Amino acid sequence: MSAEPGAAPWDRLFARHVASDTGDQITAILDQSGATDAIALSGGFPHPDTFPARALAESQARVLAQPAALQYGPTRGLPGLRDWFTDWLGRAEGRAPTEDELLITSGGMEGLGLVTRSLLDPGDRVVVEGPTFFGALVGFQRQLARVETVPVDQDGLDTDALAELLRRGSEPPPKLLYVIPDYQNPSGLSLSPERRHALVELARRYGILIVEDVAYRELGFDGERHPSLWALAPDVVAQVGTFAKTFTPGIRLGWVAAPARLVAQLARAKQNTDQCTGALGQLLLEEYGRSGGFDRGIAASRDFYRRRRDLMTAALDAHLPAGVDRTHPHGGFFSWLTLPGQVDTMALQQRALAAKVSYVPGRAFYAGEHGGNCLRLAFSRVPEERITEGVRNLAGVIAEAIAPAATR
């Protein structure tokens, strides 16, 4: 006899973190913002025009001829890719990881997941920026960590507010501070050099691990580059990176550069997830890197996304009603709007979709009930010629929502 569909006692069977899943709410928000024929200012995907499809097609047969390409590989990554990338990081950051400080991962999310599972027990304290990347947030919450938020301003995470939180905070101190110092998702803001120094000083003083997510670090538009937290303090920082925005997200690749003791734990955890990152993708990236394609691709992507940022910010300046605040991104994929008063961007979503434009409501980027009057716009994947129209439509919806009732 077959079981009744849905008859299993899921409430008893699911793990505790699933039963209290706050990720569902975020998934619902994202589903809403993506599921239409609207001009999508919601999706934070990279643009396919930046993917190295031709270079990959050309190198494919050569790479496949290598015996390692279709085989399991070492958990920490293939030696050739590790060699190339160690040199590359050394040039980019002014510090190369030692052999035991580097782990190749299957994307940035895997790196974050490995760090989360290796450090956090239920009830442990984690500090994040408000707003922050929802993928990391959901990961911390699923580990049943206590997430505390420190606000960001024009100079990134407010280190005075963090110092205050740590000073008055109950023992034990947080284990982990998660920060996206460059062209943050979702705000587009970056951490100032002074605050970078302040942050590592606080981490050392209170014995906290900084998890530095550098997903957009290479996509700066104006040539300015601040030192990475990992380069400043490799003793207390784990740098989590992804090749999704500089190579392709279709080949899941990323890295963690961190103290050797931590990398050893992450490698043990990885043996329990996918055991090793796919060899074929690692070999393709190595060839792309050694041929110079990786560096040329990054330079081209900067120009590509800068043009889109310019279009979006010009449209925002031309059409947004007075009283709406926007960030000024110098890189990355995103701009962040703050609406005046009590406007609820979740509720506004339906009206925006009716006006054929989508965004992500700000609440998705906070652990608590914040960000209700904010929203994230992405300029990365929307067709370039539709950016202005999308912003104009959105501005119309916002203007109507914030206008005093009498003038409606």
Ligand X SMILES: Cc1ncc(COP(=O)(O)O)c(C=O)c1O
Residues that bind ligand X (CB under 6 A): 44, 107-109, 133, 135, 180, 185, 213, 215, 242, 244, 249, 254
Beta carbon nearer to ligand X, 63 or 378: 378
Beta carbon nearer to ligand X, 125 or 245: 245
Beta carbon nearer to ligand X, 216 or 348: 216
Write down the least CB distance from residue 186 to ligand X, Å.
8
State the virtual CA torsion across 269, 285, 89, 83 in degrees, nearest 10.
Answer: 80
Beta carbon nearer to ligand X, 251 or 267: 251
Task: Collect all residues with Cβ–Cβ distance below 8 Å to 394 and sequence separation of at least 6.
Answer: 41, 352, 355, 357, 359, 377
Write down the least CB distance from residue 100 to ligand X, Å.
23
Q: Reduced to 3 states, what is the DSSP secondary structure of residue 83? A: helix
Beta carbon nearer to ligand X, 59 or 132: 132
**Cα–Cα distance list, 346 to 32, 190, 364 (Å):** 10, 26, 10
Beta carbon nearer to ligand X, 79 or 249: 249
Write the burial class of residue 395 (CB in 10 Å: 0-12 exposed, 13-18 middle, 19+ buried).
Answer: buried
Write down the least CB distance from residue 408 to ligand X, Å.
37
Tokens of 340: 């005046």
Beta carbon nearer to ligand X, 250 or 323: 250
Tokens of 289: 């890197």
Tokens of 259: 């103290």
Q: Is the peptide bond before 186 cis (omega within 30 degrees of 0)?
A: yes
Task: Collect all residues with Cβ–Cβ distance below 8 Å to 252 and sequence separation of at least 6.
Answer: 106, 107, 110, 244, 277, 278, 281
Write down the least CB distance from residue 364 to ligand X, Å.
12
**292: DSSP letter:** T
Beta carbon nearer to ligand X, 82 or 320: 82
Write down the least CB distance from residue 244 to ligand X, Å.
4
Write down the least CB distance from residue 180 to ligand X, Å.
5
Tracing tokens 């129209």 back to the chain, one arrives at 389
Query: For residues 291 and 280, what is the distance between their CA atoms, to the nearest angstrom?
Result: 17
Write down the least CB distance from residue 341 to ligand X, Å.
29
Write down the least CB distance from residue 242 to ligand X, Å.
3
**Longest CA–CA separation in the chain, Å:** 73
Tally: H helices and E strands in the chain: 15, 14
Query: For residues 329 and 154, what is the distance between their CA atoms, to the nearest angstrom?
Result: 10
